Amino acid sequence: MITLRGLTVAFLAAAEGVEQRELAGAWQAVLEAGGTPRLLATRPGWVLAYRELDRADTFEVGAVIEESDAADYAALVLPGGVVGVDRLRLEPAAVEFVRAFCTAGRPVAAIGHAPWLLIEAGAVRGRTLTSWPTLRTDLENAGAAWVNEQVRTCQAGQGPLITSRKSADLPLFTDALVNECARLRGRLGPWGR
């Protein structure tokens, strides 16, 4: 059985607009594998999730991104949601947090519109990714190869990038996330021992 016991996984979301199914689905997969998920946001309090473009539930913020250190987390999950991701990519602290993960070589998992953050962080050139179809041109213009697949794990850079197209792809997306975290566990640092 795959276990993430002892690993803390960061989930990054804007204060409003994260896709609820993608946040909750990946969160549950980390919990079920024995890991500890932690929600990071641009401000303290609560994150308002959406179901597509309709307001949904709220989720308590575990830490503010400006006060967080990427080195404290084993992996990063970027749930989609066009509204939330569009807001996040305008936040310098969020973009820098994503960049820090990508350069450290730890797993980053992005679904739906979340690869916009990878573009802003300069992390897609030479990589093969999937996403919500409307991001194809953005990704290709940033130097990535785009594929229409349920999940794609790209090992071509410093660390694995796990991407999926949409909420319906969550089972494969979360399997890839958990497997990459478990596979890299021995090389992750003090929180991976």
Report if residue 2 sits inside a domain.
Answer: no
Q: What is the pLDDT of residue 167?
A: 96
Question: What is each CA distance from 118 to 32, 87, 110, 192, in whole angstroms?
Answer: 27, 14, 8, 24
Residue 180 is assigned to a structural domain of this protein: yes
pLDDT tens digit string along 68-93?
999 999 999 999 999 999 999 999 99
Q: Kindly state whether residue 3 falls inside one of the protein's structural domains.
A: no
Choose among 184, 182, 188: nearest CA to 5: 182
Per the structure, the count of domains in the chain is: 1
Does position 4 have pLDDT exceeding 80, yes or no?
yes
Residue 191 lies in a domain: no
Which strands sit side by side in the sheet containing 46-51, from one edge to the other?
16-19, 46-51, 54-60
CATH number, domain at 127? 3.40.50.880
- 190 found inside a domain: no
- 88 phi and psi angles, rounded to 5 deg: -60, -40
Q: Report the alpha-carbon angle 158-159-165, nearest 5.
A: 125
The tokens for 7 are 């690993």
Per-residue pLDDT tens over the stretch 119-149: 999 999 999 999 999 999 999 999 999 999 9
Domain residue limits at 88: 8-185
